[in-house]
Amino acid sequence: MEYIFRKEEDVRKGIGDIMGGKVLELESERLKAEGRTEGEAIGQARGEAIGQIQGETRLGSLITRLLQDQRTEEIPIVSTDAKRREQLYKEYHL
């Protein structure tokens, strides 16, 4: 947003002097804050989506390994028991 007001403090002082010091927030500051908030929300949504994909991939890999090792009785357990699932992730280095 540097292109809006290159010397924001000078602009703030000048507008403040004209308006009797009643400038609470410059439009450039509002736009920066709005952009920052929007960027954070987008980043969080992307992070959550990536985490979900990674988690599903990891669980899929575990189930595949259990099937390969003919440990099918473990599959219903790992779908509901987080502690057992973590133990098997470590066992299979996933």
In a domain, 3, yes or no: no
Per-residue pLDDT in tens (0 to 9) along the chain, 94 residues = 445 555 566 666 665 555 555 555 677 788 888 899 999 999 999 999 999 999 999 999 999 999 999 999 999 999 999 999 999 999 999 9
In a domain, 39, yes or no: yes
The pLDDT value recorded for residue 65 is 97
**Helix 82-91 / helix 27-68 crossing angle, nearest 10 deg:** 70
Q: Which two tokens stand for residue 12?
A: 């703030």
Q: How many domains does the chain have?
A: 1
Please give the full DSSP string across 22-81, using - where no structure is assigned.
-----HHHHHHHHHHHHHHHHHHHHHHHHHHHHHHHHHHHHHHHHHHTT-GGGHHHHHH-
In a domain, 44, yes or no: yes
In a domain, 37, yes or no: yes
The pLDDT value recorded for residue 8 is 62
Other beta carbons within 10 angstroms of residue 78's beta carbon come to 19
In a domain, 1, yes or no: no
Domain interval for residue 62: 8-91
The answer to whether 28 and 5 have CB atoms below 8 angstroms apart is yes
